[in-house]
Amino acid sequence: MTRPSDLTRQSLVAAALAVFAEKGFEAGSIREITRRAKANQAAVTYHFGGKEGLYREVLRSAVAAFEESALVDEETAAALPREEALARFVRQQLVPLAKRDQFSRYVRLFAWEHVSGTKVFRDFIATENLPILSVAGRLVRRYLPADASPEEVAVTTVWLINQPSAFVRDSEHLTGPPLNLTLDQAFVDRLAGTLTALIDAGLSARSARGAPAS
């Protein structure tokens, strides 16, 4: 099952993940990916049918990595109080600010998609459902009253997902002027705390808000 060509495929997917996480799909070029993977340009078309096919494969592996992540595990998340589940959600999303590992690349990849809207990505979530989206949806439903309209749930879910990605996507907005922040682990912890408090208070207000049958 492990053909010799799988090595080329895997290194291409790994390099593509790194490049797409840094620059997004459209700005990431085949030439840079193949250079990092030490593979030929034609290999992308040969193995994946083109740039979009390679990106589809990257998305599939990203989803797989998210699903086996313990932080978003649905059962343990359901057992936690909603504040703690929210805190973990936020902290997970902010990981790439300080670390630069494999997992942070996945987070960055999705952060790009939250703002760019690739055709590949739209087709992707049309068939398979994105774990981060359903996790956020479940989290929102734990806050909103049961009689909240589907539109409010949808809007609030979109809102929740975009909360951390504002900080994740572009670090230079934070480190450069006029903010001049330093992105060490201590800062990420403080940021996660502040962000969690802001979101929790906002959602809790929607939760407490009356609406006891019309």
CB-side neighbour CA atoms (13 Å) of 100: 6
Positive or negative, the Cα torsion across 195, 167, 16, 38? Answer: negative
Q: Which residue, among 120, 109, 122, has the nearest Cα to 168 in the 3D structure?
A: 109
Of residues 47 and 88, the one with the C-beta less far from DNA: 47
Give me the half-sphere count of Cα atoms (radius 13 Å) on the Cβ side of residue 95.
16
For position 174 contacting its own copies by CB under 8 A, the verdict is: yes
Least Cα distance to 102 among 18, 29, 36, 13 occurs for: 18
Residue 155 binding: pick among its own copies, DNA, none (C-beta 5-8 Å cut-off by kind): its own copies
Residue 46 partner contact from DNA, its own copies, none using kind-dependent CB cut-offs of 5 to 8 Å: DNA
Q: How many CB atoms lie within 10 A of CB 107?
A: 24
Quickly tell me which residue has 């230079």 as its tokens: 172
Segment interacting with its own copies, rule: CB under 8 A, options 10-18, 41-49, 87-95, 125-133? 125-133
Q: Which of 126, 115, 92 lies closest to 162, judged by CA? A: 115
Which of DNA, its own copies, none does 185 bind, CB closer than 5 to 8 A by kind?
none
Angle among Cα 59, 16, 112 to the nearest 5 degrees reads 55
| Burial class, 102, CB count within 10 angstroms (exposed 0-12 / middle 13-18 / buried 19+) | middle
Which of its own copies, DNA, none sits in contact with 31, Cβ below 5 to 8 A by type?
Answer: DNA
CB 29 → DNA: shortest distance, Å?
3
Report 10-39 residues binding DNA (CB under 7 A).
28-32, 39
Answer yes or no whether residue 166 interacts with its own copies by CB under 8 A.
Answer: yes
Choosing among its own copies, DNA, none, which partner's interface includes residue 202 (Cβ < 5 to 8 Å by kind)?
Answer: its own copies
Q: Terminal CA-to-CA distance of the chain, rounded, Å?
A: 60
The entry of DNA, its own copies, none that residue 99 binds, CB within 5 to 8 Å by partner kind: none
Q: Which residues bind its own copies (CB under 8 A)?
A: 26-27, 114-117, 122, 125-126, 129, 133, 151-152, 154-156, 158-159, 162-163, 166-167, 169-170, 172-174, 176-179, 181, 187, 190-191, 194-195, 197-206, 209
Q: Which residues bind DNA (CB under 7 A)?
A: 3-5, 7-8, 28-32, 39-47, 50-52
